[in-house]
């Protein structure tokens, strides 16, 4: 643990030092790159939260991709039909809850293999959205809100305080989830259910109910991520829109050790490497083949993971069915 902590602080220090140095060289580009890291990373971080909330209570969720795809679709098309963005966002969140409940239903009530249950969600979401999709639609999208005073701070203003409303909301959700998971009785119970449902049950926690609740809530967070993608980031929807973001999020969840802050950091790191990759090509600094440059996010993530991860341990009861009196 101490090794991890020291590595983490060293890495943070190096990142800050590099950022400061680059900022002194070219403020506009450095600010833009770091701001882009947040734009790239936030949906991944939110999607990773879906995985964390499910797996912490013992449900493996392979269907994050499906949740993102389905909710981004519903959000966009409801916003488009009603011409109301807020309505679209709420519909996306509802759609996320629906996929969450469906997963819970299959894996808790029907006691299906959870990997298969998640895969069903992915396949269903792809099929349904592709079937229902009609081209040439427009939807109202969120507009960026510059937070007074804070947005005029150099560097930090553009990086943190000049985004659309869902970025702020998403960040709040992630921090709230962190606090809830480690500092509330709900969090303690959830983690207990994910580690040893038998003991939690003995202590009077309803394993089924809590698992249902958490998987549904996770779906809501996934819906938020979907709404962010279609109604704030892109402002459009197309078949196969999410292009594997939900699977990247699963990897980031493990990278972040099933901890919301860890996953957020992992997602931001991944987003940063993406933005840097882009910038290397934008600025044409070196004539490196773009395939090589594009490997960077993945290679760097693997390197950092290899150094920092140490022992990664998933929740003990993850993926296992819980049956009363048998555990």
Q: Can you give the binding site for other proteins, defined by CB under 8 A? A: 28-29, 31-33, 35-36, 39-40, 43, 60, 62, 65, 115, 122-123, 126-127, 130-131, 135-139, 141, 143, 158, 229, 233-236, 238-245, 247-248, 250-251, 254, 274-275, 278-279, 281-284, 290-291, 294, 314-320
Helix 207-227 vs helix 27-56: crossing angle, to nearest 10: 160
Q: How far is the CB of 298 from other proteins (least distance, A)?
A: 9
Q: Residue 5 or 306: which CB sits closer to other proteins?
A: 306
Q: Which is nearer to other proteins, 127 or 310 (CB)?
A: 127
Partners of 146 in the β-ladder: 162
Q: Are the beta carbons of 15 and 143 closer than 8 angstroms? A: no
Q: Least distance from C-beta 233 to other proteins, angstroms?
A: 5
We find the least distance from the C-beta atom of residue 264 to other proteins, in angstroms, to be 18
Return the bridge partners of 162, or none. Answer: 146
Q: And the tokens for 14?
A: 């190096």
Q: Cβ of residue 9: shortest distance to other proteins, in angstroms?
A: 27
| Contact between 191 and 52 (Cβ < 8 Å) | no
In the complex with other proteins, the residue whose CB is nearer, 220 or 317, is 317
User: Judged by CB, which is closer to other proteins: 9, or 130?
Assistant: 130
Q: Closest separation between CB of residue 286 and other proteins, Å? A: 14
The pairing of strands 145-146 and 162-163 is: antiparallel
Q: Which is nearer to other proteins, 234 or 261 (CB)?
A: 234
Dump strand ranges (E) for the chain: 145-146, 162-163
| Residue whose CB is less far from other proteins, 187 or 235 | 235
Please name which of 232, 236, 84 lies closest in space to residue 164, comparing C-alpha atoms.
Answer: 232
Q: Which residues contact 179 (CB under 8 A, 6 or more apart)?
A: none
Nearer to other proteins, 33 or 217 (CB): 33
Task: Let me know the angle formed at the C-alpha of 43 by 40 and 49, rounded to the nearest 5 degrees.
Answer: 135
Could you tell me the smallest distance in angstroms from the CB atom of residue 149 to other proteins?
20
- Nearer residue to other proteins within complex by CB, 17 or 123: 123
Q: How far is the CB of 299 from other proteins (least distance, A)?
A: 13
Cβ atoms 75, 231 nearer than 8 A: yes
Alpha-carbon span 167 to 225, nearest angstrom: 9
β-pair partners for 145: 163
Tokens representing 5 are 């902590």
Q: How far is the CB of 194 from other proteins (least distance, A)?
A: 11
Nearest in space to 263 (alpha carbons), one of 188, 166, 174: 174
């Amino acid at each position: 643990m101490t090794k991890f902590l020291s590595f983490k602080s060293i890495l943070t220090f190096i990142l800050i030092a590099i950022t400061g140095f680059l900022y002194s060289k070219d403020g506009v580009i450095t600010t833009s790159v770091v701001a882009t890291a947040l734009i790239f990373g936030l949906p991944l971080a939110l999607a990773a939260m879906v995985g964390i909330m499910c797996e912490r209570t013992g449900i493996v969720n392979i269907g994050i991709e499906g949740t993102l795809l389905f909710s981004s679709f519903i959000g966009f098309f409801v916003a488009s039909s009603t011409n109301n963005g807020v309505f679209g966002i709420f519909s996306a969140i509802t759609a996320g809850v629906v996929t969450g409940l469906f997963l819970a239903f299959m894996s808790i009530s029907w006691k299906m293999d959870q990997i298969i249950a998640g895969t069903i969600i992915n396949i269903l979401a792809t099929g349904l959205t592709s079937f229902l999709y009609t081209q040439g639609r427009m939807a109202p999208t969120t507009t960026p809100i510059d937070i007074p005073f804070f947005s005029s701070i150099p560097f930090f203003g553009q990086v943190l305080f000049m985004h659309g409303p869902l970025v702020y909301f998403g960040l709040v959700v992630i921090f709230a989830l962190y606090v809830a998971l480690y500092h509330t009785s709900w969090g303690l119970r959830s983690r207990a259910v994910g580690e040893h449902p038998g003991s939690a049950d003995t202590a009077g926690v309803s394993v089924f109910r809590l698992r249902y609740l958490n998987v549904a809530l996770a779906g809501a967070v996934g819906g938020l991520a979907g709404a962010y993608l279609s109604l704030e980031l892109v402002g459009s929807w197309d078949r196969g829109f999410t292009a594997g973001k939900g699977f990247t999020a699963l990897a980031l969840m493990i990278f972040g050790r099933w901890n919301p802050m860890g996953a957020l950091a992992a997602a931001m790191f991944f987003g940063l490497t993406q933005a840097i990759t882009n910038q290397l090509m934008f600025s044409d600094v070196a004539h490196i083949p773009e395939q090589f440059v594009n490997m960077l996010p993945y290679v760097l993530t693997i390197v950092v993971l290899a150094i920092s991860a140490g022992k990664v341990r998933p929740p003990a009861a993850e993926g296992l069915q819980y049956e009363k009196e048998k555990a």
